[in-house]
Amino acid sequence: MCLCCINFPLLYIINIYKRPPERRSLCYFIKYCKPLIMNSFLTEKYWGNTVQQYLIAIGVLVILVLLILIFKNLLLKKLKKWADSTPGKTDDLIIRGIERSLMPLLYVGALYASLQNLAIQPTPAKWLHIFFSVCVMVVSVRLISAVVMYVFTNFLRKQERGEEKTKQVKGIMILVSALIWIVGLLFLLDNWGVNVTTFVAGLGIGGIAIALAAQTILGDLFSYFVIFFDRPFEIGDFIVVQDKSGTVEYIGIKTTRLRSISGEQLVFSNTDLTNSRVHNYKRMEKRRIVFKFGVTYDTPAAKLARIPEMVKQIITGLPDTAFDRSHFLNFADSSLEFENVYFILAGDYGLYMDRQQAINLQLFEIFQKEDIEFAFPTQTVYINQLTDNHQNVISNRS
């Protein structure tokens, strides 16, 4: 505080007491002296700004914050209730974007607007510029990522088996989000005056070195793109890879995870899957079943000729099945073999086992009624009694 600002009110008070008594009252002092004291206080300067400028900045900040709170607690809540009552999801995305991105940006904007009337020193102004630019960049990147994620997932949901595809897209969205953050960082550095061209050239050289050092990881990454776009299997599919089988639970950037029938988790690298022969049973529209059985050699020929018709009647009487053929296949060592072929009109393994069990039970029941015996591995040994001449020859040789 300068000396002239202190001395001026004091001199004015001394002059008051030199005046007549009727002009020395407290009311007269408050009326004429207080404004001078307040003006002197408000005109005081700290760090290049008067007290009045600081008070105006604080007042602007308080008013803007109150307006933001009114918008949040009144208008935004009503908009949120309205969005929850509508069937679409676009309005929900907009409200969620306002809550997560716009509201923080409004608070930062209120602080920025309140500081416009202040003369800030170069160093603090530089740090404030960095702070505001970082806030704007972060909010913008989050908003763009949310919009891209919504558009991409909404497009996939409209396709066939959309829910499985939206689960599979998480790996790609990680890469897309990383790319958006890198672009946002480059814009931020360019705004700060950094030579982005040199930085990008350095990233290119560094990228080549990283690619040479991480060929396996990049190979799995490209295999992930092959799996995503070509779709040999999706989440929820039951697949067999060599001697391993299981249901696909997760498809990641580097690995794919299966849940086996026995319960453990199987982890495959994406490159191994794309380089292997994959049997996808989830996409099986119908299952071809071949089964054989044998009957004994003492079965009459008339009954052998009726067996294919018996099998056909059993299979055609079951739902979700289609009979193909039944034939007397060959003369085996201990049985007369029949080969039978039919189709299960679905890919469900449990349904196949139910139908095969029903066929076996009915076949066993019919064979019991027809007195037809199933064959099992046996050998019959025939021993002929030696004649007297053969016995004499054997005794003479001995």
DSSP assignment of 25-75 equals SHHHHHHHHHHHHHHHHHT-EETTEEHHHHHHHHHHHHHHHHHHHHIIIII
Give the per-residue pLDDT at 4.
Answer: 44
For residue 220, count CB atoms less than 10 angstroms from its CB and return exposed for 0-12, middle for 13-18, buried for 19 or more. Answer: buried
Q: In b/e form, how buried is each residue of 268-293, taking b as 16+ CB within 10 angstroms? A: bbbbebbeeeeebbbebeebebeeeb
Q: Give dist(CA 360, CA 310) in Å, integer.
A: 12
Q: Is the dihedral of CA 65, 71, 76, 78 positive or negative?
A: positive
Question: In the numeric block, which tokens belong to residue 172?
Answer: 């790609």
Q: What kind and span of H or E run contains 239? A: strand 238-241
Helix 196-213 × helix 215-230 angle, to 10°: 90
Give the per-residue pLDDT at 290.
Answer: 95
Q: Give dist(CA 165, CA 153) in Å, integer.
A: 8
pLDDT in tens, the chain (398 residues): 444 444 444 444 555 555 555 444 545 455 555 555 555 656 666 666 677 777 777 888 888 888 878 877 777 777 777 766 676 666 666 777 677 777 777 777 777 777 777 767 777 777 777 788 888 888 888 878 877 877 777 776 766 666 666 666 666 777 778 888 888 888 877 777 777 676 666 666 666 666 565 667 778 878 888 888 788 888 888 899 988 889 998 888 888 999 998 889 999 999 889 888 998 888 888 899 999 999 999 999 999 999 999 999 999 999 999 999 999 999 998 899 999 999 999 888 889 999 999 999 999 999 999 999 998 887 667 666 655 555 555 555 54
Strand partners, 144: none
- Whether 252 and 171 have beta carbons less than 8 Å apart is answered as yes
| Runs of H (alpha helix) within 196-257 | 196-213, 215-230
For residue 388, count CB atoms less than 10 angstroms from its CB and return exposed for 0-12, middle for 13-18, buried for 19 or more. Answer: exposed
For residue 355, count CB atoms less than 10 angstroms from its CB and return exposed for 0-12, middle for 13-18, buried for 19 or more. Answer: buried
Other beta carbons within 10 Å of 246: 21
- Whether 150 and 93 have beta carbons less than 8 Å apart is answered as yes
| Runs of H (alpha helix) within 335-376 | 349-369
Q: What kind and span of H or E run contains 342? A: strand 336-344
Q: Give dist(CA 47, CA 57) in Å, integer.
A: 14
Q: Give dist(CA 217, CA 271) in Å, integer.
A: 9
- Calculate the alpha carbon distances from 64 to 111, 234, 300 in Å: 9, 51, 101
**SS3 state at 380:** coil
Give the per-residue pLDDT at 2.
Answer: 45
